[in-house]
Amino acid sequence: MDWLTFIGKIIGDLVWPAVAVFLLLLRRPYLGGLARRLEELTLPGGARAKFREELEAAREQAIPVLGFTPRSLTAAQDGDVAEGGESQFLHLAAMFPEAAILQSYQEIERIIGDHVASMKQLQGRSPAEVISYLQQHSLIDAATVEVFSRLRGLRNAAAHSGRRLRLSLDEAIEYRALSRSLSDALDAAFRKLQDRSSQRDP
């Protein structure tokens, strides 16, 4: 092997690793998201930890903007409101916390659906579009919209992951308390919107 062939072989051997490194650097932003998704799917408790993280973030945002208080959550966990429908919910949450979360989110959808049915300007809009409309008209703030987005995302996680999440009774109760706080805030926002419409069209 002469020296030209030797140098050409070395260069050829170095080119492909260099190309591979370049491509990895080029795709770096996407690899981070892929790594996070793989972690959620493969690591023990990965999806559960992500769910818990999002639930805690929703709670922290709800405290200043929705009047959500840890005291009401503690009362629910201690069973102080375990009467009638609450007792049924606590039983469901103890047996199937994921199903209890789906039920809790339905209350948010019910509030939105009931008001949309009576307001022409909102009819035909999706729940997310209705929430955006309320924000655009200064009836709710960005933090409330973020709480809605987080609760919707958590509901989807519970619906699609099912019992693989292995959620707890406490997590279902906390989700329920947050959903009720958001439902109350949305109900108040819709009533303000109705008042505005009534004032414009006596």
pLDDT in tens, 10-55: 555 555 555 454 555 555 555 455 444 444 444 445 778 888 899 9
Q: What residue ranges do the domains of the chain occupy?
A: 1-42, 44-200
The pLDDT of residue 82 is: 47
What are 201's two structure tokens? 């069209």
What pTM value is reported for the model?
0.70
The answer for residues whose C-beta is within 8 angstroms of residue 174's C-beta and 6 or more apart is: 55, 59, 73
The pLDDT of residue 87 is: 78
Residues in the chain: 202
pLDDT confidence of 81, banded at 50, 70, 90? Answer: very low
Q: How far apart are CA 5 and CA 21, in angstroms?
A: 25
User: 52, 166 in Cβ contact below 8 A?
Assistant: no
- The percentage of residues in the chain with a pLDDT greater than 90, rounded to a whole number, is 38
User: 138, 41 in Cβ contact below 8 A?
Assistant: no
Nearest to 185 by CA among 128, 136, 143: 143
